[in-house]
Structure 1
């Protein structure tokens, strides 16, 4: 299938964009506001928690009711999993239910919240990186920070390289958890899949990259690019396009160098460059497209779209019609419902939770 690799890699691109952009937005918006104050750090966590938790909890409760009424998951497994979902920590550890499903996949529709769980641990990591980037002045401490971050990047890169060394981590998983964690039994429930795709520890690379790009942009604020930098941006734009195109084409057309970079870093370098490009070229075609009102609205509703889309895909597949008609109906339904969800559910609950958790 000509578009088989394209469809498979769309999920990888979406997740890499999510975690890199998350790191960028967090540091760009909060690095100055925090200012080393514990109260400001607390306000940061309240803001992020209030942004994510209401819809996260809503989809979990809905799926919990559907699963328990349908009898698809044994009650002992449900009771074991509930504390991890309530605390948003279901992706932090590799654990299997009696059915063989991982904890973060035990609820079919709420399974997509693994990425939200992973992001929550990133928020806990952020203050350490903020301290190194913003407050540390000592050369020796900065060198220690550089070595620490370099080590994290190397470790994350090793995890990201798993799809070429899958057998190694598969053996580790089998030795600890038994054959039930092997790729041969179920790839999506395997230990190696959790390590390289789901766990926060392999996703640190994208998050850190986004933070570093944001820090660089803040230090280059309002500076006009010189000629060499302009050339770099133009060449980088071309290489980014070719890189993404190469990963979407069938394997037989793959370019070895790009393929090696993709195996190691995924789309993180390209996402970082695109963010930098939009920052330094705000009047470029791509930047102007992202600044249009409809695109801004999509960005505001993106969380609602992500949380509810799986319900619509499951529903339309039960209706008569062609696959194309199903896709159109799902997209229209998701767009309309996400707008309602954002205005009547997400925004009000976020504001109430922030007010409830804020300092007196």
Structure 2
């Protein structure tokens, strides 16, 4: 299965643009956090599709191959970033104890818990909390999916996942009502897994199961809700902890379905070359934009000129990362093996 879906690159582009905008102007564009929620939904959807695709082709979930794909997708580019931050800390004269601590947390996929319990706030690698959360989810989901697929029907599996989504949202609400800090409800796996699970549920149900008429009716509403959140709300808002994150994730899921069946406006918004180019390089942009902004603001001051310089550097590094790091590793595909006794797949002529 493909780890990336070109038809979803448009959504990736807008998601990463929202996150970058938040970090460039956090006091103005407070709602840019929703880009992370879009990434969570996309991640849950794509990893579940990948696992199900292996099962259809090989007759079983190929969990080892799944983890090999995840490592190739995430770790080469992330490792380069961590090495660069560790080396750059010495060259730039940054407080090395804190930077090295953040490098170790990111390498161990623990950043989100240190952010959630306020042991780590801000910094050059604070944005890796979302990667840590996803990687923790990756450790659990293949085994959980194996159990779900033993249920009598796919519909029953979807129902269980929906129940888990409700449970996560209810737990986050209980924490918020109990006075938990916004960081606790924002960065914990236990409080944010609903977005990933919504993507998983969509993959289990199947995009094709959603009626075309329903997609056309819901897509404009979902887009309007996301724009309203982007303009009006920040991640620390109680509205988000008390159900807003789940609503944002559901809206993102609607747009994932719509991206598979784009109309004229959808093709214009999601399918132009610039948007697709940015979407394909969104991972590198996400990795590098915070360190570049951190360094630029520290050395040149927080002003538009330094932000533009940091963004230019981010785009350049993301392009290099995609060309020389991400693509070479992603070319090494683990193709599903046929089930015992099944004929080998026929490759189409090229």
TM-score normalised by structure 2 residue count: 0.70
Q: Which residue of 2 aligns with 1:27?
A: 48
**Alignment CA distance shift 1:272-1:5 (3 Å):** farther
Q: Is the 8 A contact 2:169 2:246 kept in 1?
A: yes
Q: Which residue of 1 aligns with 2:343?
A: none
Q: Equivalent of 2:79, from 44, 49, 57?
A: 57
Measured after TM superposition, the shift of residue 64 of structure 1 is 3.0
**Alignment CA distance shift 1:94-1:249 (3 Å):** closer
Question: Distance in 2 between the 1:39 and 1:152 partners?
Answer: 21
Measured after TM superposition, the shift of residue 286 of structure 1 is 1.6
Q: Which residue of 2 aligns with 1:296?
A: 276
| The 10-residue stretch of structure 1 (318-327 or 121-130) with the greater mean CA deviation from structure 2 | 318-327
Encode CA deviations 1:115-169: one digit per residue, 9 max, x unaligned.
1111111212222443355x32526x975x56753553233213543795362x3
Question: Distance in 2 between the 1:322 and 1:199 partners?
Answer: 30
**Alignment CA distance shift 1:299-1:30 (3 Å):** farther
Measured after TM superposition, the shift of residue 39 of structure 1 is 7.7
* 3-state DSSP of counterpart to 1:109: coil
Q: Equivalent of 1:340, from 300, 308, 320?
A: 320
Q: Is the 8 A contact 1:23 1:211 kept in 2?
A: yes
* 3-state DSSP of counterpart to 1:267: helix
RMSD of Structure 2 on Structure 1 (CA): 3.9
Question: Distance in 2 between the 1:243 and 1:111 partners?
Answer: 27
Tell whether 2:166 aligns with 1:154: yes
Tell whether 2:145 aligns with 1:130: yes
Q: Is the 8 A contact 1:17 1:268 kept in 2?
A: yes
Question: Distance in 1 between the 2:302 and 2:31 partners?
Answer: 24
Encode CA deviations 1:65-86: one digit per residue, 9 max, x unaligned.
44467473549x957x776543
Q: Which residue of 2 aligns with 1:179?
A: none
Query: Equivalences for 1:103-114 in 2 at 5 Å?
Result: 108-114=123-129
Question: Distance in 1 between the 2:116 and 2:215 partners?
Answer: 44
Question: Distance in 1 between the 2:271 and 2:327 partners?
Answer: 21
Measured after TM superposition, the shift of residue 270 of structure 1 is 0.7
* 3-state DSSP of counterpart to 2:206: helix
Query: Equivalences for 1:146-185 in 2 at 5 Å?
Result: 148-161=160-173, 165=177, 167=179, 169=180
| The 10-residue stretch of structure 1 (209-218 or 270-279) with the greater mean CA deviation from structure 2 | 209-218
Q: Is the 8 A contact 1:132 1:142 kept in 2?
A: no
Q: Is the 8 A contact 2:270 2:276 kept in 1?
A: yes
Q: Is the 8 A contact 1:27 1:215 kept in 2?
A: yes
**Alignment CA distance shift 1:322-1:142 (3 Å):** closer
Q: Which residue of 1 aligns with 2:337?
A: none
* 3-state DSSP of counterpart to 2:95: coil
Measured after TM superposition, the shift of residue 321 of structure 1 is 9.2
Measured after TM superposition, the shift of residue 235 of structure 1 is 3.0
Q: Is the 8 A contact 1:160 1:263 kept in 2?
A: no
Measured after TM superposition, the shift of residue 349 of structure 1 is 5.2
Q: Equivalent of 1:212, from 180, 192, 201?
A: 201
Query: For the pair shown, which has the larger CA radius of gyration, 1 or 2?
Result: 1
Measured after TM superposition, the shift of residue 343 of structure 1 is 0.9
Q: Is the 8 A contact 2:284 2:321 kept in 1?
A: yes
Q: Which residue of 1 aligns with 2:297?
A: 317
- Stretches of structure 2 that go unaligned for 5 or more consecutive residues are 1-24, 234-238, 335-350
Q: Which residue of 2 aligns with 1:263?
A: 244
Q: Equivalent of 2:224, from 235, 238, 242?
A: 242
Measured after TM superposition, the shift of residue 276 of structure 1 is 1.4
